[in-house]
């Protein structure tokens, strides 16, 4: 039996199911962070900081080696049929950059005590991740298309 991780088609293109899995995991982490940031501030800031780090790694280093891609490749993907199609990894990486900016601003805002700004930016990131996870609509990917060529990606 071939190594499932080596066989996973996560190179220059990406399995759209990974994108939704990653968005769901991101939404979970962000929701947990927002729920506990006032009650247990260190835990909330830690969760938010870990998501900032995941976004940064995925946007600037590699989508394929991100923590959520690795969980998907090792646990979920071997149990699925081959994907019907693969997508270009550039729009999702740009979406990760957008998530990084939103959550980094949120983290800084919470640290300096402007909680309203922190909640606003983290909530935007949470809403985008939840929308992607639930409906497969990647707002950051649409922005990528607008920035790159004047049309939303996938349009």
What would the pLDDT profile of 80-98 be if each residue is shown by its tens digit?
998 899 999 999 999 999 9
Rounded to 5°, the CA angle 115-22-75 comes to 135
C-alpha closest to that of 100 among 125, 73, 123, 79: 125
C-alpha closest to that of 19 among 100, 60, 76: 76
47 band by pLDDT with thresholds 50, 70 and 90? very high
Residue 148 phi/psi, 5-degree rounding, is: -80, -40
Q: What is the pTM of this model?
A: 0.86
Query: What's the rounded mean pLDDT across residues 22-33?
Result: 98
8 band by pLDDT with thresholds 50, 70 and 90? very low
C-alpha closest to that of 52 among 92, 106, 90: 106
149 band by pLDDT with thresholds 50, 70 and 90? confident
């Amino acid at each position: 039996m071939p190594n499932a991780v080596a066989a996973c088609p996560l190179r220059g293109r990406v399995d759209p199911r990974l994108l939704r899995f990653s968005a769901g995991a991101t939404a979970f982490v962000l929701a947990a962070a927002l729920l506990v940031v006032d009650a247990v501030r260190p835990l909330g800031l830690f969760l938010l900081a870990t998501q900032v780090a995941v976004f940064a790694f995925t946007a600037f280093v590699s989508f394929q080696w991100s923590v959520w891609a690795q969980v998907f490749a090792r646990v979920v993907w071997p149990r699925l049929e081959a994907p019907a199609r693969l997508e270009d990894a550039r729009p999702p990486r740009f979406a990760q950059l957008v998530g990084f900016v939103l959550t980094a601003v949120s983290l800084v805002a919470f640290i300096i005590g402007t909680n309203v700004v922190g909640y606003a930016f983290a909530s935007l990131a949470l809403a985008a991740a939840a929308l992607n996870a639930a409906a497969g609509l990647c707002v950051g990917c649409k922005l990528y298309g607008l920035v790159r060529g004047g049309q939303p990606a996938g349009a």
